[in-house]
A and B are shown apart, each in its own frame.
Chain A
Amino acid sequence: MEAVAEKPLTIPGFPRPLKNHEMIVNMGPQHPSTHGVLRLELIVDGEVIVDMIPHIGYLHRCFEKHAEYMSNYQQVIPYCDRMDYIAAMSNDLGYAIACETMLGIKVPERVEYIRVIMAELQRIASHLLAIGTFGMDIGAFTPFLYCFRDRERILDLFEQTCGARLLYNYIWIGGLSHDVPPDFAGKVADFCTSFKPTIKELNSLLTHNKIFVERTAHVGVLQADVAVNYGASGPVLRGSGVEWDLRRNDPYSIYDRFEFDIPVGRGEVGTVGDCWDRYIVRVREMEQSLRILEQAIGQIPEGNVQSAIPKRIRPDSADLYVRTETPKGELGYYIVADGTTSPSRVKVRPPTFVNLSILPAMSRGAMIADVIAILGSIDIVLGEVDR
């Protein structure tokens, strides 16, 4: 055996030298449950987490640099797709709204309705993936595939509309790339009616499963004031009992026309703000999205979806911050225009980047298996965290 090192080990980001009984474990960047290339440097005492240092940036693709190098504003949209690739429509929508606000464009009613339908379908698709992978992190494999089966039907709808299944480039500044196919509203309605029973199925398979509740209740509790101070948003914030949804509290597009509830965590099986609450918020949000969809598909007006698309975009010098509620939380675009045809700076405030920064605070004192549960309940997408 080699002699034990005399000098205690120090780690960047960890305030004190390591004690003798503590051990560093690298979770990731290749690990089945880090949802991509996230590396968590765990400092553990047996199975208990003493501290955790997240390392991100393995998927950094210089979105912000690319956006500055584009020759016009429209070319940024495909890059937006690639940030949160699980909810590309929502990313496009945020960027399009930001540019439209800057240019003062009023988009046609038909476009607004189609955008809302797409965004809500995307929300359901994203939450299905989040729930499925969360279940898999806890060890339940079957709900994962059930969720993928239903997500697939939403992707089929997207494919019929714009030909792409994952990265759509569908929502353009001032309009849409295509109109929807003729029987689209009917298909969405079919999806809504057939999807409701599958939520019940999911609830009976996973939500109220005793083991699942044991693993998620009282785990990773995030108090409301801590969540706000850390800037959490989306289901992570609502899971802590804060009724805050930008669709309601800072309405954009035409969300003020629809009736829907904002589900919040109430600590039904554990403490308010635990993993189960974050999970159930997503399940209930899918039901609310169905409600919005049902209201929206009946009201789509006729019109040309490309009539408001500007030929050339050259805003005056200005800077503004526009935020939208994506499935994962508050997605903000801070765009600085310098009077040329391409943006001088596009800063993205990715919801999961901010939500992920709470992970160390939530994990201290938990066990290794809990870290997986907490990480799954935050629902990160590394494409967006790293950009």
Chain B
Amino acid sequence: MKELLVDLLGNELLVYVLMAFVPLLWILPFALFAVWWERKIAAHMQDRLGPMRTGGWHGWAQTIADILKLIQKEDIIPTAADRLLFSLAPFVVFIGAYTAFAAIPFSAAYVGTEINIGLFYIIAVSSFVVIGLLMAGWSSNNKWSLFGAMRSAAQVVSYEIPIALTLLAVVMIVGSFDLQEINRAQSGSILNWFIFQKFPLLFAAALIYFVASLAEVNRTPFDIPEAESELVAGYHTEYGGMKFALFFLAEYANMFAVSIIAATVFLGGWNSPFGEALSGPLWGVFWVLSKSMGFVFVQMWLRWTLPRLRVDQLMYVGWKVLIPFSFVIILGVGFWVLLEG
């Protein structure tokens, strides 16, 4: 696709800028849509209707109105806050979430940059987010924010290990970090999807990845850094207006990023579930997006069903349950690959 555009426009830099904007064009509407979606899902799970008025049909314009409100709000920086870090933090968080999209393949024909260490790159840049959270919590000069930041740093760092290990199991089978390569390795029948291969090792890996990714993006039952009943709002207690909106946007972008990675690595990515039928570059976009939306839905579903763990229990789950099991999976897959030759 890049070559096509370079031929068309004749300017390589312009093409890069253009390609960088494509995920943004997806993330912004996605965040708006997902917030509305989350409200509707929550409402219907709770025997109520949710937003019904703004925009007419089932309140579809509610989040657009909310965003317009947030943009208009006065930008308040607390007097005691560290101004530079405080203003920088939401951008760091958002950039961390957004740069991950550069290596995510949306279809056989479209990926921001087809680098051969795509998965590695994504794991690396998404840990950038934690720096932003720490900056936000520290610079707010608020004890609740500090608690939230410390909790989230501990949580994100701990849960990156099982995430990396489970993804490594797949990498060992494919023999490449390249996400397009991983996609191509799953083409053909639905049974080629990695979640069904090396049963039950990769199935367990997918489960562990999903659970750990919930912690990575601070979703229930691991929403401890922003647990509203304990820490008021955690690291973003002091934020308002557009800065808060950026945190919000980053949260949803992150939610989507971990979902699309799950869809790509375990559920065949842009491959059609019906073999060759309904496949192709555009169908690929459809499949990968609907698979990841499925994961997003499950994340929301869990949020409105489950209570929240305590911080020491969260560490227990991470270090004493998920990480040992991921090691077992790595070993199992390693031997399996070795024996198959």
The chain A residues found within 8 Å of chain B, CB to CB, are 23, 25, 31-33, 47, 135-142, 145-146, 149, 205-206, 209, 211-212, 214-215, 367-370, 372
Docked-complex contact B310 and A142, CB < 8 angstroms:
no
Of the residues B42, B48, B143, B307, contact of A215 by C-beta under 8 Å: B307
Docked-complex contact A138 and B307, CB < 8 angstroms:
yes
> For the complex, what is the distance from the CA of A149 to the CA of B232, rounded to whole Å?
25
> For the complex, what is the distance from the CA of A369 to the CA of B220, rounded to whole Å?
15
Docked-complex contact A33 and B229, CB < 8 angstroms:
yes
> For the complex, what is the distance from the CA of A145 to the CA of B42, rounded to whole Å?
11
Docked-complex contact B304 and A142, CB < 8 angstroms:
yes
Beta-carbon nearest neighbor of A34 in chain B: B229
* 20 sampled A-B residue pairs with Cβ under 8 A: A25-B143, A25-B147, A31-B232, A33-B229, A47-B147, A135-B307, A138-B307, A139-B221, A139-B223, A139-B227, A140-B305, A142-B42, A146-B46, A146-B47, A211-B306, A211-B307, A214-B313, A215-B308, A369-B227, A369-B310
Of the residues A137, A141, A149, A214, contact of B304 by C-beta under 8 Å: A141
Contact A139:B232 (CB < 8 A) given known A25-B143, A145-B48: no
In the bound complex, residues from chain A placing their C-beta under 8 Å from that of B310 are 214-215, 367, 369-370
Docked-complex contact A368 and B230, CB < 8 angstroms:
yes
> For the complex, what is the distance from the CA of A214 to the CA of B229, rounded to whole Å?
17
> For the complex, what is the distance from the CA of A149 to the CA of B46, rounded to whole Å?
9
> For the complex, what is the distance from the CA of A136 to the CA of B220, rounded to whole Å?
13
The chain B residues found within 8 Å of chain A, CB to CB, are 42, 45-48, 143-144, 147, 220-221, 223-224, 227-232, 304-313
Docked-complex contact B229 and A367, CB < 8 angstroms:
no
Number of A-B contacts (CB under 8 A): 78
In the bound complex, residues from chain B placing their C-beta under 8 Å from that of A212 are 307
> For the complex, what is the distance from the CA of A277 to the CA of B229, rounded to whole Å?
21
Using A211-B306, A211-B308, A214-B310 as known contacts, list a sample of 6 further A-B pairs with CB atoms less than 8 Å apart, ordered by residue number in A: A25-B144, A137-B229, A142-B42, A142-B45, A142-B46, A215-B310
B31 to chain A, nearest CB (A): 21
- The 8 closest A-B CB pairs, nearest first, are A139-B308, A140-B307, A145-B46, A138-B307, A139-B307, A33-B229, A369-B310, A211-B307
In the bound complex, residues from chain B placing their C-beta under 8 Å from that of A141 are 42, 46, 304
A145 to chain B, nearest CB (A): 4
In the bound complex, residues from chain B placing their C-beta under 8 Å from that of A135 are 307
Docked-complex contact A372 and B46, CB < 8 angstroms:
no
Beta-carbon nearest neighbor of A144 in chain B: B46
In the bound complex, residues from chain B placing their C-beta under 8 Å from that of A138 are 229, 307-308
In the bound complex, residues from chain A placing their C-beta under 8 Å from that of B147 are 25, 47, 368
In the bound complex, residues from chain A placing their C-beta under 8 Å from that of B220 are 139
B268 to chain A, nearest CB (A): 31
> For the complex, what is the distance from the CA of A149 to the CA of B312, rounded to whole Å?
34
Docked-complex contact B307 and A33, CB < 8 angstroms:
no
Docked-complex contact A215 and B311, CB < 8 angstroms:
no
In the bound complex, residues from chain A placing their C-beta under 8 Å from that of B223 are 139
In the bound complex, residues from chain B placing their C-beta under 8 Å from that of A139 are 220-221, 223, 227, 229, 306-308
> For the complex, what is the distance from the CA of A47 to the CA of B228, rounded to whole Å?
16
B105 to chain A, nearest CB (A): 35
Docked-complex contact B230 and A140, CB < 8 angstroms:
no
Docked-complex contact B230 and A149, CB < 8 angstroms:
no
> For the complex, what is the distance from the CA of A209 to the CA of B220, rounded to whole Å?
14
B294 to chain A, nearest CB (A): 21
In the bound complex, residues from chain A placing their C-beta under 8 Å from that of B227 are 139, 369
Docked-complex contact A369 and B311, CB < 8 angstroms:
yes
- Identify which of A31, A141, A205, A209 gathers the most chain B CB atoms within 10 Å of its CB: A141
A367 to chain B, nearest CB (A): 6
Docked-complex contact B229 and A215, CB < 8 angstroms:
no
Beta-carbon nearest neighbor of B223 in chain A: A139
In the bound complex, residues from chain B placing their C-beta under 8 Å from that of A368 are 147, 230-231
> For the complex, what is the distance from the CA of A370 to the CA of B310, rounded to whole Å?
8
Of the residues B42, B144, B306, contact of A209 by C-beta under 8 Å: B306
Docked-complex contact A372 and B47, CB < 8 angstroms:
no
B43 to chain A, nearest CB (A): 9
In the bound complex, residues from chain A placing their C-beta under 8 Å from that of B48 are 145
